[in-house]
Copies of this chain bind each other. A is one copy, B any other.
Amino acid sequence: MSRLFNFCAGPSTLPRSVLDQAQQDFLDWNNLGASVMEISHRSKPFIEIAQQAEQDLRDLLNVPDNYKVLFLQGGAYGQFSGIPLNLLGTHTQIDLIETGTWSEKAAQCAANYAKVNILATTAAQKYTTLPDLSNIQASSESAYVFYCSNETINGVEFQDTPVILKCANNTQPDLVADMSSNILSRKINVADYGLIFAGAQKNIGPSGLVLVIVREDLLDRAHIHTPDVFNYAMQAQNGSMLNTPPTFSWYMVGLVFKWLKANGGIAAIEKVNIQKANALYKTIDESDFYSNPIAIEARSRMNVPFILKDESLNARFIAQAKDAGLINLEGHRMVGGMRASIYNAMPLDGVLTLCEFMRHFEKTS
């Protein structure tokens, strides 16, 4: 048994104590005589797990009472379709801020349902920065403004909720945020959003579950073609159990929420995340050997892509990193180079070990 520091972008490393507990209870959960994955989602013990997980998430994010929290399937990608299906209502257009691969993908999916008005894009900068939104005005025709708070592949992250100017008719379209790769890593104000969604497999738990946090007044406008399992109103009425939910994933995210609370919640983990990101970017910036292509103010705390000056050393870097106990540092196939994903569950020690390795590799290469 040897656990390595795992920088995978997703599915990602989980807290050691969470894995230990799940392993220990794997064959017999809570003296039920069965694994937690072998009991009915409608049984009292599972409903308690499910409700506790929701309550812990509400506590962690201070979710206002007029927001529903849904635990769904189909990933964040599924929500690229689920959101227009549920939220368009009588609208035929959405606004979208394009900052990288995932917001691009969201735009493509939404185009099957509506006209997608690109409010701002950094495509010309190859998504290495964030757009200036100071003079950007939402469209009065749009059902909502969509953006991605952290682009996992490109490594750019909004440091605050984007502020969009009101429409010409003085209304403010709701903000819809894909927070798949930075939810629970920093403080947010849920009330700033109409809808927040996040695939689980980065900061929340194993893959196979997606969180949707949606303001109640947005629940009543689903298109007739919306699959029931994606229908927010129907799932909200049924406690996200319209159909059999991914029970083991739900159990695991519940353990992750408990771990986060026990460790001081968002405020505490955000401090560690800042330390981790600062240490890694400092290592990169102090060197001529490594570089990060992202504008400093747009840099992600979660996903840190970096390039070796001499790309022919990539394979050796990966091999020696593995020998040093550091795995899954290969960059995304669309970007190349290296990428260290340093989500909540990556301990500071893991990042410091990576920084030390990088300095050592530079010296000896």
- The reply to whether the CB of A199 lies closer than 8 angstroms to some CB of chain B is yes
- With A27-B3, A33-B325 known to touch, is A244 a contact of B207 (CB < 8 Å)? yes
Q: Which B residues lie within 8 Å of A207 (CB)?
A: 37, 41, 244-248
**Interface residues in A70-106 (C-beta closer than 8 Å to B):** 73-78, 80-82, 85
Cβ of A79 to closest chain B Cβ, rounded Å: 9
Partner of A13, one of B9, B11, B34: B34
Q: Which B residues lie within 8 Å of A77 (CB)?
A: 228-229, 242-244
Bound Cα distance A31, B3 (Å) = 9
Cβ of A101 to closest chain B Cβ, rounded Å: 13
Q: Which B residues lie within 8 Å of A43 (CB)?
A: 8, 328
- With A9-B40, A28-B1, A230-B227 known to touch, is A247 a contact of B208 (CB < 8 Å)? yes
Q: Which B residues lie within 8 Å of A246 (CB)?
A: 73, 206-208, 246, 249
B81 touches A227 (CB 8 A): yes
Q: Residue among A12, A43, A225, A247 with the most chain B CB within 10 A?
A: A225
A227 touches B78 (CB 8 A): yes
- The reply to whether the CB of A23 lies closer than 8 angstroms to some CB of chain B is yes
Cβ of A279 to closest chain B Cβ, rounded Å: 22
- The reply to whether the CB of A288 lies closer than 8 angstroms to some CB of chain B is no
Q: Report A7-42 CB contacts with B as 1/0, cut-off 8 Å.
A: 011111110000110110011100111110111111
Bound Cα distance A22, B26 (Å) = 9
Cβ of A332 to closest chain B Cβ, rounded Å: 9
For A40, give the chain B residue with the smallest CB separation. B8
Bound Cα distance A11, B246 (Å) = 9
Cβ of A38 to closest chain B Cβ, rounded Å: 5
A38 touches B23 (CB 8 A): no
Q: Which B residues lie within 8 Å of A37 (CB)?
A: 11, 14, 206-207, 252
**Identical subunits present:** 2
A26 touches B33 (CB 8 A): no
- With A41-B207, A225-B112, A328-B39 known to touch, is A11 a contact of B247 (CB < 8 Å)? yes
A27 touches B33 (CB 8 A): no
B78 touches A243 (CB 8 A): yes
Bound Cα distance A91, B249 (Å) = 38
Partner of A244, one of B10, B38, B327: B10
- With A4-B33, A81-B227, A223-B225 known to touch, is A39 a contact of B26 (CB < 8 Å)? no
CB pairs A–B below 8 angstroms (21 shown): A3-B28, A3-B33, A6-B39, A9-B40, A11-B38, A11-B41, A14-B38, A20-B27, A23-B26, A34-B327, A37-B252, A42-B333, A73-B74, A77-B242, A78-B229, A80-B227, A81-B227, A112-B225, A207-B246, A208-B247, A227-B227
Given A10-B40, A73-B75; 4 other pairs, CB 8 A cutoff: A2-B33, A26-B26, A78-B229, A78-B243
